Amino acid sequence: MADLNLTSDKLLGGNRSQLELMRFRKLIAPADLDHEGDETAAECLIMSLASRSVINTKGLHVSVTGECGKGKSHTLTTMLKLVSERFRISGAMSNKALFYMEGLQPGKAIILDDTSLSEDVSGILKGVTTSFRKPFLYRTVNKDRKGQVCTIPERCIWWIAKVEGSGDDQVFNRMLTCWIDDSPEQDNRVLSRILD
């Protein structure tokens, strides 16, 4: 599992100018209005969005993990506001729903929040992350028992919020895992912000 303590400077290559870092921070600034802390998670999610446009990438898929009630869902919800509605899918879905969605476009951000991944969804997630630059094919039969090929388009990124320690290691080894700040200091900052 990718246990990385990343900062925007490391994500941007470590040798970036102050101006470039300031531009990067401007991308995250709107999230700061709605969410206290968890800058590393926000930076990882922004870089994930950018990965859709990199020609030779396998995409950057992000798992936000931490204890219950510490801000995983709020972090994803806040960052999701930065993504146009036409480029995001969130909410509960059945195991094969993505294969049958009409108009599913390349480059969607697919968000699974505090969802236990079934064996089917885990298999799909492994497949789409492996074939990131091309559509992922699923062969099945339709109601008339005729062969049918369904696809999930290329360059879709996945954001998953999960309680620490849950899930399939093979799935989460393919993702950048970042932890929500569960320190007492973070709790105090959140409480202070709520009371203001």
CB-CB contact of 159 with 48 (8 Å): yes
Q: Radius of gyration of the chain from Cα atoms?
A: 18
Which tokens belong to 61? 């898929």
Q: What are the structural domains, with CATH classification, of the chain?
A: 2-195 (3.40.50.300)
95: burial class by Cβ within 10 Å (0-12, 13-18, 19+)?
Answer: middle
CB-CB contact of 177 with 1 (8 Å): yes
Coil, helix or strand for 168?
coil
Which tokens belong to 11? 């994500």
The structure tokens 């989460």 sit at 172
Who contacts 93 (Cβ-Cβ below 8 Å, separation ≥6)?
none
Gap between the Cα atoms of 121 and 108, Å rounded = 17
Which tokens belong to 60? 């950057």
Sign, CA dihedral 112-167-100-59, equals positive
Distances (CA, A) of 18 to 12, 69, 95, 105, 155: 11, 35, 45, 35, 30
Question: pLDDT value at position 137?
Answer: 92
Instruction: Give me the phi and psi of 85, to 5 degrees please.
Output: -55, -30
Instruction: Give me the phi and psi of 148, to 5 degrees please.
Output: -145, 140
Tens of pLDDT along the chain (196 residues) come to: 333 344 444 444 444 555 555 555 556 655 555 656 667 788 888 888 888 888 888 888 988 887 777 778 878 888 888 788 888 888 888 888 888 888 888 999 998 886 777 888 888 888 988 889 999 999 999 889 999 999 999 999 988 887 665 566 777 778 888 887 777 787 777 777 777 7
Question: pLDDT value at position 9?
Answer: 45
Gap between the Cα atoms of 12 and 10, Å rounded = 5
